[in-house]
Structure 1
Amino acid sequence: MVNQPMDLFSQPPRCRVGKVVKSNSHCDYVVQVDDAQDVVTPPSPEDCGFGQFVSFDNDRRHWAVGLVYNSQLFNPLFLNNGPRLSSEPDPLFTPDLVQETRTLLGIVLVGSFAEGDQGRYGIHGIPRVVVPANTAVYKMTDEEIYQFHRNGEGKSQFSYYSHLLRSGGLFAAQLALQVLTDLVDSHLFSEVEEKALQVLGKELSWKNTLGAIR
């Protein structure tokens, strides 16, 4: 990893994406995205897109680092065969009517942060702890992504690759390829490390192509 000037990491306040509402397994969590009913400034679609790094944190501790691998729209009115209004309800006469449509994200945990002699660094793999319900989830900044890909000795690492291919859902290969592309485009790595990531990405892309042909 190359040393980056501090002004590269000049970031606005952290962007909250949402909160944990359930889990499907020890490393597969469902996050409900904040909307205008929850916060003053909800996240944009780009803040919680496919392959986005996120951090699970609350006021007590940091819990885990994850990647968005899936999304779902939850609409309880879908297939509702009951009587319907002939037009959209007027908010003047229905002030308590709340929109129940929500966006849910599937997030695979790929590690966590730790503190060392050289500052914050990443521990890659499946976190040992269980993330509590209602834990806030934040979009990770470039600085946090840089720190996560450093080990305790300050060297670059990408040790969650095989775990991502096993646990990234139906789009695991595409997710890994998206992460590799984003890391190369971020220019947080040295030139030699970027070339290694590019080779890994080309190999994965070739395997996907052969798999599709078969």
Structure 2
Amino acid sequence: MKIGKIVKSDSHINYVCQVFGPREADVQPAPADYAFGRFVRIAVRSEHGDDPDALFGEALGQSQEPVTYAVGIIYDTILQNPAFGSLGPRLSNEMQVELFSPDYISEKAVLTYIMVLGMLEQRTLFGREPEVLSVMHGVPLLSLELDSVIETMDDAEVCAFHLFRDPAGGPNSQDPYLHMGYIPHIIAQRSSLLPMVTLRIIDQLERLFPENVALLSIVKRNFAWRLKVETTG
């Protein structure tokens, strides 16, 4: 589901998304769609540019070309209301403004902060499930563009982002395993909410990978202990 678009960035990996408001999207996102700890994806610049055949194929879900997405996590939300504090008299209320001035632009907005955790390349063929071609955890080489659309990720895509395979030739090269290579990447950032979003990520992975609950519980306990020690000083 499309929840909003990028309106600014604070760094190469931290972006601000403005959530779609009324009449800005076919389906207006609900608060649960941009909840704390939600995995999202953002398409990286398209290599085919404005090729009409490629764009038409993507619209039909028949594109043969792989699409690269930046995968991120929502870790903060800001409610923006420039009218707050301006409590003087009004000639028109909000309902009258909407009726008599339909071109009036509301400056109220919901902003979510997104940290990019890695990249996911996949290809979608008509009538088939998306095929994951490659996954990378860490800082991407390319930055994202303004007005890029942010979409929510379903459980299957979150699982695909966390499944790695060893290089060909190893004894277990065909056995996928759970990987969280972005954890050091998150720890290095300066935000009081990022440790909490890490615990939220682990909770989600415990549900998606029940066979790894024992390992994830150890990681969660260690991380929670570290968070408690750092908080108490």
TM-score tier (shorter): 0.7 to 0.9
Query: Does residue 120 of the first structure (1) align with residue 139 of the second (2)?
Result: no
| Contact 1:121–1:151 under 8 Å retained in 2 | no
| Residues 164-183 of structure 1: pairs in structure 2 closer than 5 A | 164-167=186-189, 169-183=191-205
RMSD of equivalent CA atoms: 2.4
Q: Unpaired segments of 5 or more residues in structure 1?
A: 1-14
Q: Distance in 2 between matches of 1:156 and 1:111?
A: 15
Return the offset for 1:121: 4.0
- TM-score computed with the length of structure 2 as normaliser: 0.75
Q: Secondary structure at the match of 1:211?
A: helix
Provide the residue aligned with 2:35 in structure 1: 49
Q: CA deviation at 1:45?
A: 0.5
Count of residues in Structure 1 that have an aligned counterpart in Structure 2: 196
Residue 106, structure 1, aligned to residue 125, structure 2: no
Structure 1 residue ranges (4+ consecutive) displaced by more than 6 angstroms after TM superposition: none
Equivalent of 2:221 in 156, 177, 202:
202
- Paired position in structure 2 for 1:97: 104
For 1:88 and 1:33, the matched residues in 2 are separated by: 20
Map Cα deviations across residues 107-152 of structure 1 (whole Å, 9 max, x no partner).
Answer: 0110001359x84342100111011111111001111101100124
CA contact (8 A) 2:69 2:121 kept: no
Return the letter of the residue paired with 1:166: A
- What is the alpha-carbon distance in structure 1 between the residues aligned to residue 39 and residue 160 of structure 2? 12
Look up the match of 1:65: 71
What is aligned with 1:129?
A: 142
The alignment partner of 2:139 has SS state of coil
Structure 2 residues not aligned, in runs of 5+: 47-66, 124-130, 167-175
TM normalised by structure 1 equals 0.81
Tell me which amino acid in the other structure corresponds to 2:101. T
CA distance in 1, matches of 2:10, 2:220: 28
Which of structures 1 and 2 has the bigger CA Rg? 2
